[in-house]
Amino acid sequence: MGFSVSASAAIIFISFLMVAGTLYTAWDNAYANVQAAQEYWYEMRLSQLNTLSSLDAENSSVSTGTDSGGNQYYNLTLAIQSNGVTLYVPHWSGTYDGKLVTLNNVDDDNVGFLSDYGYLLPGNSIQLNVTYIPLNENEHSIKITFDNGCWLLINWYYNTTEKVVYVNTSRGCPMEVS
């Protein structure tokens, strides 16, 4: 009519085994996620330490022109060089004079790559064109952010007296908050 003590003990014992199995699986998954996050952080940090981008002045150029309305402008071609890790160009983003720009198309906002690029290998450079900049001595800037969070900031202005462009660059990577 009733359960025996040994049957009740067996049910309780099996329940404990099921709970232990479930807890072990949950602990193992949590540990695997922590390990994967730690490995991702180390890879990202290593990538940031080895992102050595710069402006290749020898392959950069400037040209001047006049539009149909008689306004003078200049175009600036910036050669961005990678001296560190291989960079995936389609994931780059940019801000030109404080406004977000698409780097893959020069027609929509006058800033873009001259060719369709996939990867930028160490030692190579990529041509970024900034077009129809008013021919005056106002300072301009473009900040290019790479897929690992590092950035290259390029500031310049056109000296109308000497007819040259003065360029200043800086670069950096985000640091964690402790």
| Domain positions in the chain | 53-172
- 53-172 topology per CATH: Immunoglobulin-like (2.60.40)
SS3 state of residue 118: coil
Is the pLDDT higher at 175 or at 35?
Answer: 35
Degrees, nearest 5: CA angle 157-48-120? 65
Is the pLDDT higher at 139 or at 109?
Answer: 139
Which of 111, 109, 108, 119 shows the shortest CA–CA distance to 146?
Answer: 119
Residue 29 predicted with pLDDT over 50: yes
Contacts of 45 (CB under 8 A, 6+ apart): none
Residue 178's pLDDT is 43
Residue 177's pLDDT is 52
Give the model confidence (pLDDT) of 60-75 as tens digits. Answer: 888 888 888 888 999 9
Give the model confidence (pLDDT) of 89-118 as tens digits. Answer: 998 999 999 999 988 876 778 898 888 888
CA distance 17 to 152: 57
